[in-house]
Structure 1
Amino acid sequence: MAEITRDYKETVSNRLRQDPAFAAALLDEAISLFLNGEAVTARLILRDLVNTTVGFEKLALETDKPSKSLYRMLSAGGNPTMNNLTRIISVLRRNLNINIEVRSVPQHQQIT
Protein backbone atom coordinates (compact mmCIF):
# COMPACT_ATOMS: atom_id res chain seq x y z
CA MET A 1 0.00 0.00 0.00
CA ALA A 2 1.36 3.42 -0.94
CA GLU A 3 2.16 5.81 1.83
CA ILE A 4 0.33 9.15 1.88
CA THR A 5 2.89 11.84 1.24
CA ARG A 6 0.87 14.94 2.14
CA ASP A 7 -1.44 15.65 5.01
CA TYR A 8 -5.06 16.27 4.00
CA LYS A 9 -5.36 19.42 6.13
CA GLU A 10 -2.12 20.78 4.69
CA THR A 11 -3.39 20.16 1.16
CA VAL A 12 -6.71 21.91 1.85
CA SER A 13 -4.94 24.82 3.59
CA ASN A 14 -2.59 25.32 0.65
CA ARG A 15 -5.49 25.29 -1.79
CA LEU A 16 -7.46 27.78 0.35
CA ARG A 17 -4.51 30.17 0.37
CA GLN A 18 -3.99 29.90 -3.39
CA ASP A 19 -7.56 29.70 -4.67
CA PRO A 20 -10.13 32.30 -3.49
CA ALA A 21 -12.86 30.52 -5.47
CA PHE A 22 -12.19 27.33 -3.50
CA ALA A 23 -12.49 29.25 -0.22
CA ALA A 24 -15.77 30.80 -1.39
CA ALA A 25 -17.06 27.36 -2.43
CA LEU A 26 -16.23 25.91 0.99
CA LEU A 27 -18.06 28.74 2.76
CA ASP A 28 -21.03 28.15 0.46
CA GLU A 29 -20.90 24.44 1.25
CA ALA A 30 -20.74 25.06 5.01
CA ILE A 31 -23.79 27.33 4.87
CA SER A 32 -25.70 24.81 2.73
CA LEU A 33 -24.82 22.04 5.18
CA PHE A 34 -26.13 24.10 8.11
CA LEU A 35 -29.36 24.83 6.30
CA ASN A 36 -29.79 21.14 5.48
CA GLY A 37 -29.21 19.83 9.01
CA GLU A 38 -25.55 18.76 8.70
CA ALA A 39 -24.23 21.01 11.47
CA VAL A 40 -21.20 18.93 12.51
CA THR A 41 -19.66 18.89 9.04
CA ALA A 42 -20.51 22.57 8.54
CA ARG A 43 -18.73 23.54 11.77
CA LEU A 44 -15.62 21.57 10.81
CA ILE A 45 -15.48 23.23 7.40
CA LEU A 46 -15.85 26.64 9.03
CA ARG A 47 -13.05 25.77 11.45
CA ASP A 48 -10.73 24.89 8.56
CA LEU A 49 -11.69 28.11 6.77
CA VAL A 50 -11.01 30.22 9.85
CA ASN A 51 -7.70 28.47 10.55
CA THR A 52 -6.41 29.09 7.05
CA THR A 53 -7.91 32.46 6.13
CA VAL A 54 -8.70 34.70 9.09
CA GLY A 55 -7.14 32.88 12.02
CA PHE A 56 -8.80 32.45 15.39
CA GLU A 57 -6.99 35.41 16.99
CA LYS A 58 -8.27 37.86 14.38
CA LEU A 59 -11.72 36.24 14.48
CA ALA A 60 -11.70 36.75 18.26
CA LEU A 61 -10.97 40.45 17.81
CA GLU A 62 -13.64 40.89 15.16
CA THR A 63 -16.34 38.98 17.08
CA ASP A 64 -15.36 40.09 20.57
CA LYS A 65 -15.24 36.43 21.65
CA PRO A 66 -12.28 34.51 23.11
CA SER A 67 -10.40 32.52 20.47
CA LYS A 68 -10.61 29.32 22.53
CA SER A 69 -14.39 29.68 22.76
CA LEU A 70 -14.61 30.19 19.01
CA TYR A 71 -12.46 27.13 18.40
CA ARG A 72 -14.74 25.05 20.64
CA MET A 73 -17.83 26.42 18.89
CA LEU A 74 -16.48 25.18 15.57
CA SER A 75 -15.49 21.73 16.83
CA ALA A 76 -17.49 18.57 16.10
CA GLY A 77 -19.22 18.86 19.48
CA GLY A 78 -19.56 22.65 19.41
CA ASN A 79 -22.87 24.40 19.73
CA PRO A 80 -22.59 28.04 18.62
CA THR A 81 -25.59 30.29 19.09
CA MET A 82 -27.17 31.72 15.98
CA ASN A 83 -25.71 35.13 16.89
CA ASN A 84 -22.19 33.69 17.15
CA LEU A 85 -22.57 31.70 13.96
CA THR A 86 -23.79 34.80 12.12
CA ARG A 87 -20.81 36.79 13.37
CA ILE A 88 -18.35 34.09 12.30
CA ILE A 89 -19.85 33.80 8.82
CA SER A 90 -19.95 37.59 8.49
CA VAL A 91 -16.24 37.88 9.33
CA LEU A 92 -15.36 35.12 6.86
CA ARG A 93 -17.51 36.71 4.17
CA ARG A 94 -15.83 40.10 4.61
CA ASN A 95 -12.34 38.63 4.70
CA LEU A 96 -12.96 36.49 1.63
CA ASN A 97 -14.60 39.48 -0.08
CA ILE A 98 -17.71 37.58 -1.15
CA ASN A 99 -21.46 38.08 -0.93
CA ILE A 100 -23.82 35.31 0.02
CA GLU A 101 -27.08 34.71 -1.79
CA VAL A 102 -29.52 32.02 -0.75
CA ARG A 103 -32.09 30.49 -3.05
CA SER A 104 -34.49 27.62 -2.71
CA VAL A 105 -34.71 24.74 -5.13
CA PRO A 106 -37.36 22.04 -5.23
CA GLN A 107 -36.42 18.68 -3.80
CA HIS A 108 -36.13 15.82 -6.23
CA GLN A 109 -39.23 13.68 -6.02
CA GLN A 110 -38.60 10.07 -5.20
CA ILE A 111 -40.01 7.54 -7.62
CA THR A 112 -41.97 4.86 -5.83
Structure 2
Amino acid sequence: MALTRNFKHTVIERVERDPAFAKALLDEAATLFLNGEAETARLILRDLVNATLGFEQLAQATHKPSKSLHRMLSPQGNPSMDNLAAIFSAVRQRLGVGFEVHAVQAHA
Protein backbone atom coordinates (compact mmCIF):
# COMPACT_ATOMS: atom_id res chain seq x y z
CA MET A 1 0.00 0.00 0.00
CA ALA A 2 1.42 3.39 -1.01
CA LEU A 3 1.71 6.16 1.52
CA THR A 4 0.25 9.49 0.46
CA ARG A 5 0.27 12.94 2.00
CA ASN A 6 -1.98 15.87 1.42
CA PHE A 7 -0.10 18.26 -0.86
CA LYS A 8 -1.33 21.35 1.01
CA HIS A 9 0.00 20.00 4.29
CA THR A 10 3.33 19.17 2.67
CA VAL A 11 3.69 22.73 1.35
CA ILE A 12 2.67 24.25 4.69
CA GLU A 13 5.20 22.14 6.61
CA ARG A 14 7.98 22.92 4.13
CA VAL A 15 7.27 26.68 4.22
CA GLU A 16 7.26 26.64 8.04
CA ARG A 17 10.69 24.99 8.26
CA ASP A 18 12.33 26.47 5.16
CA PRO A 19 11.94 30.25 4.59
CA ALA A 20 14.00 29.97 1.38
CA PHE A 21 11.35 27.62 -0.04
CA ALA A 22 8.61 30.16 0.70
CA LYS A 23 10.61 32.89 -1.02
CA ALA A 24 11.23 30.61 -4.00
CA LEU A 25 7.49 29.97 -4.31
CA LEU A 26 6.79 33.70 -4.28
CA ASP A 27 9.49 34.28 -6.89
CA GLU A 28 8.08 31.49 -9.05
CA ALA A 29 4.53 32.87 -8.83
CA ALA A 30 5.71 36.34 -9.86
CA THR A 31 7.80 34.95 -12.71
CA LEU A 32 4.92 32.83 -13.98
CA PHE A 33 2.56 35.83 -13.96
CA LEU A 34 5.05 37.94 -15.86
CA ASN A 35 5.56 35.14 -18.40
CA GLY A 36 1.84 34.75 -19.09
CA GLU A 37 1.21 31.60 -17.08
CA ALA A 38 -1.42 33.12 -14.83
CA GLU A 39 -3.31 29.94 -13.90
CA THR A 40 -0.24 28.18 -12.52
CA ALA A 41 0.89 31.38 -10.80
CA ARG A 42 -2.48 31.74 -9.04
CA LEU A 43 -2.31 28.15 -7.78
CA ILE A 44 1.20 28.59 -6.39
CA LEU A 45 0.19 31.89 -4.81
CA ARG A 46 -2.89 30.24 -3.28
CA ASP A 47 -0.74 27.50 -1.73
CA LEU A 48 1.68 30.12 -0.43
CA VAL A 49 -1.15 32.15 1.12
CA ASN A 50 -2.46 29.01 2.83
CA ALA A 51 1.03 28.27 4.17
CA THR A 52 1.80 31.78 5.41
CA LEU A 53 -0.97 34.27 6.08
CA GLY A 54 -4.11 32.26 5.57
CA PHE A 55 -7.04 33.78 3.72
CA GLU A 56 -8.58 35.49 6.75
CA GLN A 57 -5.40 37.44 7.49
CA LEU A 58 -4.97 38.16 3.77
CA ALA A 59 -8.52 39.54 3.73
CA GLN A 60 -7.63 41.92 6.55
CA ALA A 61 -4.40 43.00 4.85
CA THR A 62 -6.02 43.60 1.45
CA HIS A 63 -9.42 44.85 2.66
CA LYS A 64 -11.08 42.24 0.44
CA PRO A 65 -13.52 39.50 1.47
CA SER A 66 -11.90 36.12 2.06
CA LYS A 67 -14.32 34.41 -0.35
CA SER A 68 -13.38 36.87 -3.10
CA LEU A 69 -9.70 36.19 -2.52
CA HIS A 70 -10.34 32.43 -2.74
CA ARG A 71 -12.08 32.94 -6.09
CA MET A 72 -9.31 35.22 -7.37
CA LEU A 73 -6.68 32.57 -6.67
CA SER A 74 -8.70 29.66 -8.05
CA PRO A 75 -7.77 28.04 -11.39
CA GLN A 76 -10.49 30.11 -13.10
CA GLY A 77 -9.82 33.25 -11.06
CA ASN A 78 -9.26 36.61 -12.70
CA PRO A 79 -7.89 39.08 -10.15
CA SER A 80 -7.48 42.68 -11.22
CA MET A 81 -3.97 44.10 -11.26
CA ASP A 82 -4.82 46.12 -8.13
CA ASN A 83 -5.97 42.99 -6.28
CA LEU A 84 -3.01 40.99 -7.49
CA ALA A 85 -0.60 43.71 -6.37
CA ALA A 86 -2.28 43.77 -2.95
CA ILE A 87 -1.99 39.98 -2.61
CA PHE A 88 1.67 39.96 -3.62
CA SER A 89 2.36 42.87 -1.28
CA ALA A 90 0.75 41.14 1.71
CA VAL A 91 2.64 37.88 1.11
CA ARG A 92 5.89 39.73 0.43
CA GLN A 93 5.52 41.66 3.70
CA ARG A 94 4.72 38.48 5.61
CA LEU A 95 7.88 36.84 4.24
CA GLY A 96 9.95 39.99 4.69
CA VAL A 97 11.19 40.05 1.10
CA GLY A 98 11.29 42.48 -1.79
CA PHE A 99 11.24 42.05 -5.54
CA GLU A 100 14.09 42.85 -7.86
CA VAL A 101 13.49 42.78 -11.61
CA HIS A 102 16.18 41.65 -14.01
CA ALA A 103 15.59 42.35 -17.69
CA VAL A 104 16.72 39.84 -20.25
CA GLN A 105 17.52 41.27 -23.66
CA ALA A 106 15.85 39.54 -26.57
CA HIS A 107 18.10 38.66 -29.47
CA ALA A 108 16.98 39.80 -32.90
Normalised by the length of structure 1, the TM-score is 0.90
Alpha-carbon RMSD across the aligned residues, in angstroms, is 1.6
Q: Which residue of 2 aligns with 1:13?
A: 12
Q: Which residue of 1 aligns with 2:84?
A: 85
Deviations 1:67-109 (A, max 9, x none): 0000100000000000000000000000000011111124589
Q: What is the identity percentage for the equivalent residue pairs of Structure 1 and Structure 2?
A: 61
Deviations 1:19-51 (A, max 9, x none): 111000000000000000000000000100111
Write out the 4+ residue segments of structure 1 that deviate beyond 3 Å after TM superposition.
106-109
The CA deviation at 1:10 is 1.6
Which 5+ residue runs of structure 1 have no aligned equivalent?
none
Structure with higher RCO (Cα < 8 A, 6+ apart): 2
Matching residue's letter, 1:55: G
Q: Which residue of 2 aligns with 1:46?
A: 45
For residues 11 and 58 of structure 1, the distance between their equivalents in structure 2, rounded to whole angstroms, comes to 21
For residues 9 and 59 of structure 1, the distance between their equivalents in structure 2, rounded to whole angstroms, comes to 17
Q: Which residue of 2 aligns with 1:97?
A: 96
Residues 95 and 32 of structure 1, relative CA distance in 2, 3 Å threshold: same
The CA deviation at 1:4 is 3.2
For residues 107 and 3 of structure 1, the distance between their equivalents in structure 2, rounded to whole angstroms, comes to 47
The CA deviation at 1:13 is 1.4
Q: How does 1:63-82 map to 2 (within 5 A)?
A: 63-82=62-81
> What is the count of residue pairs matched by the alignment?
108
Q: Secondary structure at the match of 2:52?
A: helix
Decide which structure has the larger Cα Rg and report it: 1
